[in-house]
C-alpha cells in the first residue's frame, strides 16, 4: 500500500500501539496522533469500580477520540501522511463490554452523531498478542492505575478485539502477531513490517513475528 495516507494502529491495552505509531511516524515522516489515555480523570476509578464509572469513563474517551481525529480532514490527509495509535471504532468495543443496556442505548446515539465526521483509515494494523503476554507488558510498564486490572477483563477484551478485526470491513487490515515483536530493539522486524504494509491491497492480511 504505497499510496496510503492514514494508518490506524489497534490492539488491546499494553500491546505496543504507541511505540509502533512513533516508529512508523519516523519511518514514513508522518504526523503521529496519540491517544491521551492518562488524561482521562475517571480511569483510575473505573479500574477500582467498573460498574459505577464505566459510562463517564467511556464518554470521556469517546469525546477525546472524536476531538483528536476530527482534525484529520480530507485536505490534511492528502497533504501529509498520518499514523494514529487508535481508531475511532475501538470505542464501541469497550462500550459493548463495559456499559449496561441503558447506558449503551444513550452511548450509541452520541456515537452515531460523531462518527460521520471521522475519516476511516486506509489501513488498520491490528497488533495481536496472547493474554498472558499482554498482562506481562501491562505489569512491566507499571502504570499505577493499571495494577488493579482484572486478568479476566483483559482476556474478554482480547477475545472481543480478535472477533472485531476478523470481521472488520471498512478497509484492509494487517493482523500482526506481536508476541515476540520487540519494536524498539528489532530493526529487522520493523523493516519486515514496513515492507508488508507496502504490499497490502485489501481484505485481511497477516504477519507473524514468531520466528
CATH number at residue 192: 3.40.50.300
Instruction: Kindly state whether residue 190 falls inside one of the protein's structural domains.
Output: yes
pLDDT of 101 strictly over 80? yes
pLDDT of residue 73: 63
pLDDT of residue 185: 72
Distance CA 180, CA 172 (A): 23
Q: Look up cell 442505548; give the residue.
A: 105
Instruction: Kindly state whether residue 114 falls inside one of the protein's structural domains.
Output: yes
**pLDDT tens-digit profile of 102-132?**
999 999 999 999 999 898 899 999 999 999 9
Q: Give, in order, the Cα–Cα distances in Å from 58 to each of 41, 43, 62, 90, 146.
A: 11, 9, 6, 11, 16
- The alpha-carbon radius of gyration of the chain (Å, integer) is 17
**pLDDT tens-digit profile of 29-53?**
999 999 888 889 999 999 889 999 9
Is-catalytic flag, 100?
A: no
Catalytic residue among 49, 76, 85, 186: 85
Q: Look up cell 452515531; give the residue.
A: 112
Q: Which three cell numbers stand for residue 22?
A: 512513533
Instruction: Kindly state whether residue 41 falls inside one of the protein's structural domains.
Output: yes
Instruction: Kindly state whether residue 130 falls inside one of the protein's structural domains.
Output: yes
pLDDT of residue 211: 45
Instruction: Kindly state whether residue 143 falls inside one of the protein's structural domains.
Output: yes
Domain interval for residue 22: 6-208
Q: Which three cell numbers stand for residue 45?
A: 476509578
pTM of the model: 0.90
14 annotated to bind ligand: yes
146 annotated to bind ligand: yes
Q: What is the mean pLDDT of the chain?
A: 89
pLDDT of 18 strictly over 60? yes
**pLDDT tens-digit profile of 168-200?**
989 999 999 988 877 667 788 889 899 999 999
pLDDT of 146 strictly over 80? yes
pLDDT of residue 37: 85
175 annotated to bind ligand: no
What is the number of domains present in the chain?
A: 1
What order of strands is seen across the sheet that includes strand 6-11? 31-33, 82-84, 6-11, 123-128, 173-177, 204-208
3-state SS string for the chain: CCCCCEEEEEECCCCCHHHHHHHHHHHHCCEEECCCHHHCCCHHHHHHCHHHHHHHHHHHHHHHHHHHHCCCCHHHHHHCCEEECCCCCHHHHHHHHHCCHHHHHHHHHHHHHHHCCCCCCCEEEEEECCHHHHHHHHHHHCCHHHCCCCHHHHHHHHHHHHHHHHCCCCCCEEEEECCCCCCCCCHHHHHHHHHHHHHCCCCEEEEECCC
Instruction: Kindly state whether residue 1 falls inside one of the protein's structural domains.
Output: no
pLDDT of residue 201: 86
139 annotated to bind ligand: yes
Q: In the chain, how long is the greatest CA-to-CA distance?
A: 48
Amino acid at each position: 500500500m504505497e499510496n496510503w495516507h492514514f494508518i490506524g494502529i489497534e490492539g488491546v491495552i499494553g500491546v505496543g500501539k504507541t511505540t509502533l505509531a512513533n516508529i512508523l511516524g519516523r519511518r514514513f515522516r508522518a504526523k503521529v496522533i496519540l491517544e491521551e489515555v492518562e488524561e482521562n480523570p475517571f480511569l483510575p476509578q473505573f479500574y477500582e469500580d467498573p460498574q459505577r464509572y464505566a459510562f463517564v469513563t467511556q464518554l470521556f474517551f469517546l469525546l477525546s477520540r472524536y476531538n483528536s481525529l476530527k482534525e484529520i480532514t480530507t485536505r490534511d490527509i492528502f497533504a501529509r501522511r498520518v499514523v494514529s495509535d487508535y481508531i475511532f471504532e475501538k470505542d464501541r468495543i469497550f462500550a459493548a463490554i463495559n456499559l449496561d443496556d441503558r447506558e449503551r442505548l444513550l452511548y450509541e446515539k452520541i456515537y452515531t452523531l460523531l462518527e460521520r465526521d471521522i475519516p476511516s483509515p486506509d489501513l488498520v494494523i491490528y497488533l495481536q498478542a496472547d493474554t498472558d503476554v499482554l498482562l506481562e507488558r501491562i505489569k512491566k510498564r507499571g502504570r499505577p492505575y493499571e495494577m488493579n486490572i482484572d486478568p479476566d477483563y483483559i482476556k474478554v477484551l482480547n477475545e472481543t478485539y480478535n472477533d472485531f478485526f476478523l470481521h472488520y470491513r471498512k478497509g484492509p487490515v494487517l493482523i500482526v502477531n506481536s508476541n515476540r515483536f520487540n519494536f524498539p530493539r528489532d530493526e529487522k522486524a520493523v523493516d519486515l513490517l514496513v515492507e508488508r504494509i507496502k504490499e497490502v491491497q485489501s481484505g485481511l492480511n497477516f504477519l507473524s513475528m514468531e520466528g
